[in-house]
Structure 1
């Protein structure tokens, strides 16, 4: 965060156009785009090996082609499916788009290699201790793994580290989940179909719950249990819910769990600060890149990184917003309607997928639809409750909510979607 003068005497200063703090999806994506476009020289500050480095994570998004990230893509699915609470499936063909999975280790290897090959990119393993505005930009005080201290100076600093606390919000839910990478004894999965929402699970008293299945082979898949609600569960509760889903709903038969992931993603209409100093900007979830009503972040991070790189290349210091105001306003209404129970979450999302053409739906989820398209989608939702909520939201006070809890292997601060 931006702070007062650094009291520690530090070594000689090193200079680049941009310093990026954090080597996750947001930090590495921005560094990659800056080097790719030649917009700036960049130094990425990543935490050294140890407890401060996050575990391996899974990021998913849809796109018409993998582009320059193809080498890091683990799997793709041409078809998407939703199961309603009554068990009825609905399959979408979003061609030419495909749903894609990237594992964080593969993404890191790809971007690290590209930074190493470039003349303008550098990776520094160190702990960022302080960030402050300087006389001609910003300064980052760092400590190397061997205890040496150094100062990085740059025109701009982009900080992707999670905020210490979420900003005040009118509504705050959490998307929290646990997933198993499973291997079954026999082929149980269709590798062509990704199940985005499977509502054939018991629903909580508040919020909603669904299963999420990404097949990697006929006998391998990521199987997740996810809730949208106010508080996370214990690991024991997630395990019980996952066991029920895998055995009683999916009927996987005999299977083994190879690895597990667990995380918490804020779903909030809070106003995230885009900057914490004159030359210090927030990116990623800390900068508001997570879509409030869905938790999807990775695709928004790619768009935002390109926009920042273009702005710097063209000499513009203004950093654009990750999401448009209209999309955020719609999300605020949906979050409030879900939180108050005015709409039934499983019925709402099932209806959204069934009644909206696939490409329009993906544009809507990405915040890229026109007003006319959004009006047509809105008329197919519960109009009365949504209108009542839309009239109410502007007058609700913003207040501080409890910080989301985290568990082993969490992805808080970096969405997997």
Structure 2
């Protein structure tokens, strides 16, 4: 094989691609290895808001724009305020993340940004085929999401889809110290749907209407539900929308890792790095990236042992339940947040809990549908 153009090619300059590139740049082991990040867009707008919990200091603390130590949970019959204890719930704007990491990488001679859309990665010729050019490398980290997961009959699929408004009000409406994890007091018919609020000040907040459903919906539905929530739940007579954001995240037990090979490692959403049962990705991505770095330095395939099979099974059963009975979402999440300590919830979602702790949480969610799902997945 001829000398490749790059040592590594990272296909996609989003969360996973830039976190991986940042770890490469901060480890002397990778010094002198030419790395290309190929992304079709400039990635300068604030197209996402990432949130995560942590109970220690972290690498991205300097980018946190807002933190909360309390959370509220509302169902149609329950209201609970959750003290996060040693944890904080943190918000990072994607535009701040993109700018920070790109500035760091542009200062290094080892990294190059290329604006192109990769259509295929050929493992035989070790070539990424783009619309403008082709690029060779010893290994590819590919964040593109293929449609395979939608075609597998054994796969459970929900879509986390949402629209959010950053609104400003004249009256003091919000409690800046407490964010709303889930508010089920307003739901779309027969669905797992809720409102999520990140209060920035007493007069400003990001308010999102979110679905966990096997289907998608029209854009006007989000606007209708957001307006209805602001009028009927928050009792607002007027507000000003200063920003909007929307998203679509697949929540699935499809085995994305089967697309990994000796020369290609799937990363990000395309690698199954989004937590299937919750849709959270920021800290999950950080953990996967750290494991990739460790694997490479040990002489292993980058994709070695990236997934915990036990937690994947828990996620698969939960997704199967909501796929068949999407109307159960409020009931199940109410049990989850009212029958378990918030520290245990966070540790469970971070896949840090023991078998006995997992069993306790799973029993707290019990519904006959879980038995049916267990045997369907078995």
**Structure ranking higher on relative contact order (CA contacts 8 Å, 6+ apart):** 1
Instruction: Say yes or no: does 1:60 pair with 2:51.
Output: yes
Aligned equivalents of 1:129, 1:374: Cα separation in 2? 41
Aligned equivalents of 2:120, 2:29: Cα separation in 1? 25
Aligned equivalents of 1:116, 1:269: Cα separation in 2? 36
Check whether the contact 1:189–1:219 (CA below 8 A) recurs between aligned residues.
Answer: yes
- 174 and 143 in structure 1: CA distance in 2 versus 1, 3 angstrom threshold: closer
* 1:276 Cα offset (Å): 5.2
- Which deviations, in whole Å up to 9, do the C-alpha atoms of 1:31-56 show, x marking residues without a partner? 11122123433221122449xx9862
- 340 and 48 in structure 1: CA distance in 2 versus 1, 3 angstrom threshold: closer
Instruction: Say yes or no: does 1:159 pair with 2:147.
Output: no
Flag the structure with higher helix content.
Answer: 2
More displaced stretch, 208-217 vs 229-238? 229-238
- 95 and 322 in structure 1: CA distance in 2 versus 1, 3 angstrom threshold: farther
Aligned equivalents of 1:161, 1:230: Cα separation in 2? 21
Q: How does 1:14-29 map to 2 (within 5 A)?
A: 15-29=5-19
**Pick aligned residue for 1:78 from 60, 65, 69:** 69
Aligned equivalents of 1:115, 1:360: Cα separation in 2? 37
CA RMSD of aligned residues (A): 2.4
Check whether the contact 2:39–2:116 (CA below 8 A) recurs between aligned residues.
Answer: yes
More displaced stretch, 288-297 vs 275-284? 275-284
Aligned equivalents of 2:56, 2:195: Cα separation in 1? 26
- 230 and 143 in structure 1: CA distance in 2 versus 1, 3 angstrom threshold: closer
* 1:274 Cα offset (Å): 4.7
Check whether the contact 1:18–1:156 (CA below 8 A) recurs between aligned residues.
Answer: yes
**Pick aligned residue for 2:172 from 146, 162, 187:** 187
Aligned equivalents of 1:65, 1:172: Cα separation in 2? 33
* 1:346 Cα offset (Å): 0.7
Matched residue, 2:183: 198
**Pick aligned residue for 2:36 from 34, 38, 43:** 43
Aligned equivalents of 2:225, 2:376: Cα separation in 1? 35
Check whether the contact 2:262–2:301 (CA below 8 A) recurs between aligned residues.
Answer: no
User: Structure 1 segments of 4 or more deviating over 6 A?
Assistant: none
Check whether the contact 1:272–1:288 (CA below 8 A) recurs between aligned residues.
Answer: yes
Matched residue, 1:3: none
Check whether the contact 2:149–2:155 (CA below 8 A) recurs between aligned residues.
Answer: no
Where 2:123 maps in the other structure, the secondary structure is: strand
Check whether the contact 1:184–1:254 (CA below 8 A) recurs between aligned residues.
Answer: yes
Instruction: Say yes or no: does 1:140 pair with 2:128.
Output: yes
Instruction: Say yes or no: does 1:282 pair with 2:270.
Output: no
Aligned equivalents of 1:320, 1:218: Cα separation in 2? 47
Where 1:131 maps in the other structure, the secondary structure is: strand
Unaligned runs of 5+ in 2: none
Aligned equivalents of 2:369, 2:124: Cα separation in 1? 50
Aligned length: 372
* 1:178 Cα offset (Å): 1.0
* 1:119 Cα offset (Å): 4.3
Q: How does 1:340-355 map to 2 (within 5 A)?
A: 340-341=324-325, 344-355=328-339
Query: Normalising by structure 1, what TM-score?
Result: 0.83
* 1:233 Cα offset (Å): 1.4
Q: How does 1:9-408 map to 2 (within 5 A)?
A: 15-40=5-30, 41=33, 42-49=35-42, 56-65=47-56, 67-86=58-77, 88-133=78-123, 138-142=126-130, 149=133, 151-167=134-150, 168=152, 169-205=154-190, 207-275=191-259, 277-341=261-325, 344-394=328-378
* 1:181 Cα offset (Å): 0.8
Unaligned runs of 5+ in 1: 1-11, 395-417
More displaced stretch, 359-368 vs 379-388? 379-388
Aligned equivalents of 1:142, 1:14: Cα separation in 2? 16
